[in-house]
Amino acid sequence: MKLTDVEQGMLDGAEGAAVQKAMDLLIRYGEALGAERLVETNNVCGTFVAAGPMIREFASKGNDAIFSEFNLDSTEHVAMPPVKAYTCHLIMGIDSEHPEMRQVSEDAARVQTEGEKFFGAKGINMLSTCTPYQVGNVPVMGEHCAWMESSAVIYCNSVLGARTNTEGRESTGAASITGRIPYFGLHIPENRHATHLVDVRVSVDDMMDWGLLGYAIGEMVEEDIPVFRGLESQPSLIKLKHFGAAAASSGGVEMYHMPSVTPETRSEEGALGGSAPRASWIYGPQERRAAYEKLNSTASSADVDFIMLGCPHNSIEQVWQVARLLEGRRISPNTSLWVFTPRALKEVADRSGYTDVIKAAGGHVLSDTCPAISRIMPKGTRVVATDSAKQAHYLPAITGVQAWFGSVADCVEAAVAGRWTGGLR
Amino acid sequence: MSMIVLHGRKVVGGVSEGEALVTRETISGWGGIDPRTGKVVETRHELCGVSFKDKILVFPGAKGSSGWSQYFHLARLAGTAPKAILYNRTTTKVALGAVVMRVPALTDFDRDPLSIIEDGDWVRVDADRGIVEITKKSS
């Protein structure tokens, strides 16, 4: 790889041992990709605090050791310097403010709190959400970013027109203290054209429709870039948030084009960059039903114990919708209902009275994590209902539960009745 | 005994050999594998319940969460990583995962390894020289 003088200096140790390790990793990674150079970035979203159950076991060695091993891929433990690039923390292991989540040891909770202090002091913003673009980190068109979190990456590229590949824990760690990331993939304008065409022949309107479309096309195009034909309704932030998360779960979609909706193109031809699509797919009633059936393939018992809403983390609009559906009602004594929203939006939900409405109905508003990340659910949970295609995809694999996927209204009805009565309509 | 030789591009250097485990389906890291056991856990995956520990893992590429590298990193620390990996489609997920797994890795082959290598074949990977030597199980 070609390095600038400044980058060569970092590799030679001019900025200390940690930066040297970071540059060494970026070069190993860049060469593995076949990249020719690095690009400057001043917008990093990554994971630093020892959050997952396996990394917590490592935590006794201290936060410099965690940073060295998991953010720099360095077996030698070096001291973490302050970050050089603007860096935000993504989702965490637990919501330390809520006793419902306290199924982990005091020790694990302490590891997280101390980690937040340590990495916060290094300059990492504790947004603690999978949706940084909902709480202040909104990159602009063309901005080079180094983001983890597949659902945020697809949103960043497609809806905002900023440029990021799906980075990992180690590469975002290295980017945070060097301000560099390999110039590869979606950083390069020619690679951002659509390669595949999806012809939508069924109405895609409500949240569930958008989740089903995302889940279906993720399996169709895998890592490729689709352009859509035939979408008629205007999507909103929450619909594209759900759509993208689903597409990045069933496949590896990092970017898509919807002419006149997403910013990089106004036409199908423009999205394709003058080339013919390598393949075309049809999304019709059959494909929609198949996506629904796949998402519900793990569920057999209608007795629902746990309703999970807010993956990716709910917008304030979604928290408001849940509150409206629950107002004056009470969930079944046999079910639990957890709603996840970024901590900054939880503050707004509290002030707006939504948290009280949800609590009065027997639910909880939580932040910072989700059941798939934390592996924490109400004790004894066997059957989950969720309005998230992503959570329905991952929870059964990660925790062994059954999962029902449906609309937010289906989920709230399941919470009240204790039984799943949702379906494809 | 016949030996088939493939040529590819080095992703991570080193030499390793072992029994092949082949899948035509892309693999998820976070939410797709259990690093404690080295098993694939994605419910509808053809390898669900099968361990890649000490195998030469041959697969099309990575999909899913950005936790891909972290989960294969954890597999290395837990001693459940494959002995080498061979894949077709370069993405940031699989490239970073290969780097932090620190096992020999190759891609960009002259012939598709998925159409040549089968489960149980003995595979020697010399990533420094970009060479894969395959001894068919049946021969």
- For residue range A351-386, list pLDDT tens digits in order: 999 999 999 999 999 999 999 988 899 999 999 999
SS3 content of chain B, % helix, strand, coil (to 5): 20, 35, 45
The structural domains of chain A, ordered by start, are: 5-189 (3.30.499), 193-294 (3.40.1060), 296-417 (3.30.499.10)
Mean pLDDT, range A210-226, rounded to an integer: 95
Other Cβ atoms less than 10 A from the Cβ of A185: the count is 22
- Tokens standing for residue A330: 């009470």
Which of the following is catalytic: B2, B65, B69, B115? B65
**Distance from C-alpha of B106 to C-alpha of B81, rounded to nearest angstrom:** 16
CB–CB of A32 and B12 under 8 A? yes
Residue of B nearest to A27 (CA): B99
B33 CA to chain A: closest CA distance, Å?
9
Is residue A409 scored above 90 in pLDDT?
Answer: yes
Is residue B46 scored above 90 in pLDDT?
Answer: yes
B2 CA to chain A: closest CA distance, Å?
31
In this predicted complex, what is the ipTM?
0.96
Residue B44, chain A, CB below 8 Å: the answer is yes
User: Mean pLDDT, chain B, as a whole number?
Assistant: 95
- Range list of β-strands (E), A137-178: 146-147
Peptide bond into A312 cis (omega under 30): yes
Q: Which of A32, A47, A249 sits opposite B64 (nearest CB)?
A: A249
**Distance from C-alpha of B125 to C-alpha of B109, rounded to nearest angstrom:** 13
Q: Phi/psi of residue B42, each to 5°?
A: -60, 125
Q: Which residues of chain B lie closer than 8 angstroms to A32, CB-CB?
A: 11-12, 95-96, 98-99, 105
Per-residue pLDDT at A99: 65
Mean pLDDT, range B99-118, rounded to an integer: 98
Q: Report whether A198 contacts A272 (CB < 8 A).
A: no
Q: Which residues of chain A lie closer than 8 angstroms to B95, CB-CB?
A: 29, 32-33
Annotation marks residue B65 as catalytic? yes
Is residue B1 scored above 70 in pLDDT?
Answer: no
Q: Which of B26, B32, B36 sits opposite A222 (nearest CB)?
A: B26
Per-residue pLDDT at A95: 87
pLDDT in tens, A165-174: 999 999 999 9
Is residue A57 scored above 80 in pLDDT?
Answer: no
**Distance from C-alpha of B47 to C-alpha of A313, rounded to nearest angstrom:** 31
CA torsion through residues B54, B81, A165, B25, sign:
positive
> Per CATH, which fold does B3-135 belong to?
Glucose Oxidase; domain 1 (3.50.30)
Domain ranges (residues) in chain B: 3-135
Is residue A106 scored above 80 in pLDDT?
Answer: no
CB–CB of B96 and A249 under 8 A? no
Other Cβ atoms less than 10 A from the Cβ of A19: the count is 22
Is residue B130 scored above 90 in pLDDT?
Answer: yes
CB–CB of B95 and A33 under 8 A? yes
- In the chain, the amino acid numbered B95 is A
pLDDT band for position A304 (cuts 50, 70, 90): very high
A346 CA to chain B: closest CA distance, Å?
25
Mean pLDDT, range A176-197, rounded to an integer: 98
Q: Report whether A203 contacts A285 (CB < 8 A).
A: no
